[in-house]
Amino acid sequence: MDLTMRPRRLRGSDTLRRMVRETRLDPSSLIYPMFVMDGENKVEGIEALPGQNRYTVDRMGEELERLLDAGVNNVMFFGIPSHKDEVGSGAYDSEGIIQRALRKAKKDYPELYLITDVCMCEYTSHGHCGILCDHYVDNDKTLEYLQKIVLSHVEAGAQMVAPSDMMDGRVRAIREALDKAGHVTTPIMSYAVKYASAFYGPFREAAGSAPSFGDRKSYQMDYHNRLEGIREAQLDVEEGADIIMVKPAMSYLDMVRDVRERVDVPVAAYSVSGEYAMIKAAGAKGWIDEEKVMCESAVSVFRAGASILLTYFAKEIANCIKDGKIG
Ligand code: PBG
C-alpha cells in the first residue's frame, strides 16, 4: 500500500505516545469540592457519593491533609448549616459554617487556595437559590444578598468566590461589592453556563438543598440550548468574571469547547455529583474499571478546552497523574 500518512506510526510505543500527547494534566488545575457542616467531632458519609463525607470544622483537617498529600491545593467549600430560614441568613453570618471553616483552614493550612460556592440554596428553608417573592425567585433582591454573602466569605478568608445561583447581573453586583470594600484582587469564578440538571441529585442529598417545591428551571438553563450558554458566558465576562465555568461537565463537553472558543478567560468545568456517583456505582458492580473511566472522563474535559476541573475525584486523579497513568 502506498500510504503517505500512517497515523499509527505515532502510536507505536508508550514513550512515543507520551511524546505526541496533546493534552497534559497537572494537579494544579484540579479543585476539590468539599462539604463542611455545623456540629462537632463528626465525619458523615454521603450515601450517594461513596468516599465523600461531610466534615465538622474540627475534623475537616483530616481530609485537607490527604488532599495536600496528593498535591491538590485548591478547595471549594460547600456549607451545610444546622439552621435554615426564608432569607438564608446563615449564608452571610460571620459565625456561619463557611465563615468558620474558612478561618480555620486559612490558619491551619496557609498553603491551601480557598474558594467558596456562593449560593443560598443550602441556607434557605425553601431550598431555592434566592429570595422568594410568592413562588418566584426575585432576581434583583437576591443580588443584594449575594453581595452580603461574598463579603462575609472574603472577610473570613476566601481567596476566590464562585457564584452558582444563576441570577442575572450577579457577577456585576458581586464585583461592585468586592471593589467597594477594597477587595479588588479577589477573582470571581462564575458558574456562567449552568444547566438545570438531574446530575445534581446526589449533591442535593449531600447538602440537603433540594427545593421544597417546584424546580430551578426559572434560573438554571434549559439543556436543549447552546447559544444561550454562549451568551451567558459572554455576559459574565463583560460583567467582570475572571473564570467561566460550565456545569455539568460530561454531557456538556460541547459547551466547554464552544465557550473556550468564544471567550478569552480560563474555562473551568464541574464534573458534578451525578457523574461521580455513576462511575462509583458501576465501578463497585465491577461493570466498568472505575479508575480508568475516571481518568478518561477527566482527560476529556481538558481535551474539550477546559483548563480547570472541579471534581470529587481530585485526589485520585492527582495520584494517577503522579503515577503516570494519565497526563
Ligand atoms: C448550588 C450548587 C449546586 C451544585 C453546586 N452548587 C446544586 C444545585 O444547583 O442544585 C451541584 C454540584 C454537584 O452536583 O456536584 N446551587
Distance (angstroms) between ligand 1 centre and the Cα of 272 equals 8
Contact 30/72 with Cβ under 8 angstroms? yes
Q: How many C-beta atoms lie closer than 10 Å to residue 18's C-beta? A: 11
* Any domain includes 5: no
Number of domains present in the structure of the chain? 1
User: Residue 255: CB within 6 Å of ligand 1?
Assistant: no
Q: pTM surpassing 0.85?
A: yes
User: Residue 203: CB within 6 Å of ligand 1?
Assistant: yes
* Any domain includes 66: yes
* Any domain includes 145: yes
* Any domain includes 206: yes
* Any domain includes 10: no
Computed from CA positions of residues 224, 166, 51, 207, in that sequence, does the dihedral angle turn out positive or negative? negative
CA 158 to chain centre: 15
* Any domain includes 6: no
User: Residue 204: CB within 6 Å of ligand 1?
Assistant: yes
Which residue segment(s) compose the domain that 36 sits in? 23-322
Rounded CA separation 44/7 (Å): 50
* Any domain includes 13: no
* Among candidate residues 169, 142, 167, 172, the one with its CA nearest the CA of residue 219: 167
* Any domain includes 9: no
Residue 248 belongs to a domain with what CATH number?
3.20.20.70
Which residue out of 164, 223, 251 has the highest number of ligand 1 atoms within 8 Å of its CB and is therefore the one to mutate?
A: 164
Distance (angstroms) between ligand 1 centre and the Cα of 204 equals 7
Residue nearest to atom 5 of ligand 1 (CA): 164
Distance (angstroms) between ligand 1 centre and the Cα of 153 equals 18
Local confidence pLDDT in tens for the 327 residues of the chain: 999 999 999 999 999 999 999 999 999 999 999 999 999 999 999 999 999 999 999 999 999 999 999 999 999 999 999 999 999 999 999 999 999 999 999 999 999 999 999 999 999 999 999 999 988 999 999 999 999 999 999 999 999 999 999 999 999 999 999 999 999 999 999 999 999 999 999 999 899 889 999 999 999 999 999 999 999 999 999 999 999 999 999 999 999 999 999 999 999 999 999 999 999 999 999 999 999 999 999 999 999 999 999 999 999 999 999 999 998
H or E, element range at 298: helix 290-304
